[in-house]
C-alpha cells in the first residue's frame, strides 16, 4: 500500500476528523493529504457563543498547520475542480492525483442570493458576522431584533432558534428586552422539522415562553436598513437583523459529475460512497434522504460520524480487509436556551419511527434514542456529554466532552 494517497478535500469538521482518523489507521507508507484554502479553522458551533460574548474569536479558531506534525500533508490551496474519471483534483497549488478521495467541502454560504442580506443583516454563520451581531446587540436600546432563515437547506437546524434565545438573554441582561421584541422568520413549518412535530411544538412553546415571536412558513424576500419584506408584501420593521444566509453546494462540486440535482452529492447512506470509483463524500456537502421525504440535517455531529466510518472503511480496503463500518444516522444536538441552559435532542435519523416527547429528566439518561428523536430539556450546560470531535486536539489538548457548542478548544473554556 506504500505511496498510495488518500486525498481529503476540505479541512472543516468532517475533513479534519477524516484526515486524523485515516492517519491513525493507515500504515505510514500511505499518504494522507488534506486540501484546505484557509489554514485557520473557525469552529462554527461556537459562533453563537461569540455573539453572546462568551467566547472570543481567537478562542474558537485553531491552526490546521499543526496537523503536519501528525503526519498529515496539508496543502493550503483552493480546490478548483474534481475529475473522478482522471482520479485527479485541480487546485491552485497544481493537480493532485489520488487513490481514494474524500470530499468534505461543506456547504457554501451565498448571502447575495437574498437581496439586502449582505448589506443589512449580520450573518451568524461567519465568525466575523457573529462577532458583529454581538456588538450590535450590545449597542441596541430599542427596536425589533429579526432573526431570519433565508432559505432551505441550511446547516445546524437549531442555530436560528439558538440565536433568538441568546439574543433574548443578552437583551435581558442589558435590561432593554422590553423595548426590543425578538422575532424569528423562517420558511419552515415549525422549528427543527427533521426532529419531528413534537419536538418542534416544544421548542416553539419554549421560545414563546421567552416572549420570542415564532413566524413559520414566512419567506423573507428582501432586507433593508429598516427591516424585512416578506413574501405576500408584509413589511416588518427591524432595528437589527441577524440570520442564516442562503446556502448552496460548493462550486467545484456543483460543476463536477459528483453533483446531484441540488448540486450536493448523493451518497450511499451507510458507506458514504459516491457513484464515482474511489470517491466518498461526508458532511454538509452530501445529500442523504431520510424518512418522510426529508434530508439528513447538515450538522457537525453527522460530519464527524461519517468521517469516522469512511476512515475505517478506507483503512480496511487499503489493507486488503473487507470494510464493515457503516453509518447509522445517529446524531445529537444541543439547543442553546440562554441562561447557561440547553435542550438536548438525540436520535437515529435513519431509523424512522415516531419522535418522542421531550419531558425526560436531565441527567444520565441521555442514551441515543431508538428510531426517533428524543429530547431532554433544560439540562444545565456542561452536564450533557457526547463524543469527541478530534478538533480540540489541534490546540494541543483534549476536546473534552462537548463536540459542538463549546468545542472545548483547550485553555479557552469559560
- Give contact residues for ligand FAD (rule: CB under 6 A): 10-15, 35-38, 44-45, 47-48, 78-79, 104-106, 124-125, 155-156, 159, 250, 252, 283-285, 298-301, 303, 333-334, 404-405
Separation of alpha carbons 123 and 117, rounded Å: 8
* DSSP classification of residue 1: -
Q: How far is C-alpha 70 from the geometric centre of its chain's CA atoms?
A: 25
Closer to ligand FAD at the Cβ: 91 or 204? 91
Q: Measure CA of the first residue to CA of the last residue in the chain; give whole Å.
A: 45
Per-residue cell: 305: 460520524
Q: Which of 108, 155, 105, 100 is nearest to 280 (CA)?
A: 100
Closer to ligand FAD at the Cβ: 226 or 280? 280
Min CB(254)–ligand FAD separation in Å: 11
Task: Name beta bridge partners: 266.
Answer: 287
Min CB(177)–ligand FAD separation in Å: 22
Min CB(146)–ligand FAD separation in Å: 17
Closer to ligand FAD at the Cβ: 160 or 181? 160
Separation of alpha carbons 196 and 373, rounded Å: 7
Separation of alpha carbons 261 and 263, rounded Å: 6
Closer to ligand FAD at the Cβ: 48 or 276? 48
Contact 41, 61 (CB under 8 A): yes
- Residue nearest ligand FAD, CB atom distance: 12
Min CB(304)–ligand FAD separation in Å: 8
Closer to ligand FAD at the Cβ: 32 or 178? 32
Separation of alpha carbons 344 and 405, rounded Å: 12
Min CB(28)–ligand FAD separation in Å: 25
Closer to ligand FAD at the Cβ: 73 or 324? 73
Q: What kind and span of H or E run contains 244? A: strand 240-244
Min CB(252)–ligand FAD separation in Å: 5
CA dihedral 408, 47, 190, 333 (to 10 degrees): -10
Closer to ligand FAD at the Cβ: 100 or 155? 155
Min CB(401)–ligand FAD separation in Å: 13
Per-residue cell: 330: 445517529
271: burial class by Cβ within 10 Å (0-12, 13-18, 19+)?
Answer: middle
Closer to ligand FAD at the Cβ: 206 or 231? 206
Min CB(88)–ligand FAD separation in Å: 15
Contact 413, 60 (CB under 8 A): no
Amino acid at each position: 500500500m506504500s505511496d498510495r494517497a488518500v486525498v481529503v478535500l476540505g479541512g472543516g469538521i468532517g475533513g479534519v476528523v477524516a484526515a486524523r482518523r485515516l492517519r491513525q489507521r493507515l500504515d505510514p507508507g500511505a499518504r494522507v493529504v488534506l486540501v484546505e484554502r484557509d489554514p485557520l479553522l473557525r469552529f462554527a458551533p461556537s459562533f453563537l457563543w461569540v455573539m453572546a460574548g462568551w467566547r472570543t474569536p481567537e478562542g474558537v479558531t485553531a491552526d490546521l498547520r499543526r496537523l503536519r506534525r501528525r503526519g498529515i500533508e496539508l496543502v493550503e490551496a483552493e480546490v478548483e475542480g474534481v475529475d473522478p474519471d482522471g482520479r485527479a483534483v485541480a487546485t491552485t497549488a497544481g493537480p493532485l492525483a489520488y487513490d481514494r478521495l474524500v470530499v468534505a467541502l461543506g456547504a457554501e454560504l451565498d448571502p447575495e442570493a437574498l437581496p439586502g442580506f449582505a448589506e443589512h443583516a449580520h450573518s451568524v454563520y461567519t465568525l466575523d458576522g457573529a462577532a458583529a451581531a454581538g456588538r450590535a446587540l450590545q449597542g441596541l436600546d430599542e427596536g425589533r431584533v429579526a432573526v431570519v432563515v433565508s432559505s432551505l437547506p441550511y446547516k445546524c437546524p437549531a442555530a436560528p432558534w439558538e440565536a433568538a434565545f441568546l439574543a433574548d438573554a443578552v437583551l435581558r441582561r442589558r435590561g432593554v428586552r422590553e423595548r426590543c421584541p425578538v422575532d424569528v422568520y423562517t420558511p419552515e413549518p415549525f422549528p427543527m422539522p427533521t426532529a419531528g412535530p413534537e419536538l418542534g411544538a416544544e421548542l416553539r412553546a419554549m421560545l414563546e415562553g421567552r416572549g420570542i415571536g415564532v413566524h413559520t412558513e414566512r419567506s423573507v424576500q428582501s432586507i433593508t436598513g429598516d427591516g424585512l419584506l416578506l413574501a405576500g408584501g408584509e413589511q416588518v420593521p427591524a432595528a437589527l437583523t441577524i440570520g442564516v444566509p442562503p446556502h448552496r453546494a460548493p462550486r467545484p462540486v456543483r460543476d463536477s459529475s459528483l453533483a446531484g440535482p441540488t448540486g450536493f452529492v448523493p451518497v450511499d447512506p451507510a458507506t458514504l460512497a459516491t457513484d464515482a470509483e474511489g470517491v466518498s463524500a461526508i458532511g454538509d456537502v452530501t445529500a442523504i434522504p431520510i424518512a418522510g421525504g426529508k434530508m439528513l440535517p447538515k450538522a457537525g455531529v453527522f460530519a464527524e460520524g461519517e468521517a469516522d466510518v469512511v476512515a475505517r472503511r478506507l483503512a480496511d480496503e487499503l489493507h486488503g480487509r473487507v470494510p464493515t463500518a457503516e453509518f447509522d444516522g445517529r446524531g445529537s444536538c444541543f439547543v442553546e436556551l440562554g441562561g447557561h441552559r440547553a435542550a438536548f435532542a438525540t436520535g437515529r435519523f435513519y431509523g424512522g419511527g415516531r419522535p418522542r416527547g421531550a419531558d425526560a429528566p436531565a441527567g444520565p439518561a441521555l442514551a441515543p434514542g431508538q428510531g426517533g428523536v428524543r429530547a431532554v430539556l433544560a439540562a444545565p450546560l456542561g452536564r450533557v456529554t457526547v463524543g469527541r470531535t478530534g478538533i480540540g486536539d489541534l490546540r494541543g489538548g483534549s476536546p473534552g466532552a462537548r463536540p459542538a457548542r463549546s468545542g472545548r478548544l483547550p485553555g479557552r473554556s469559560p
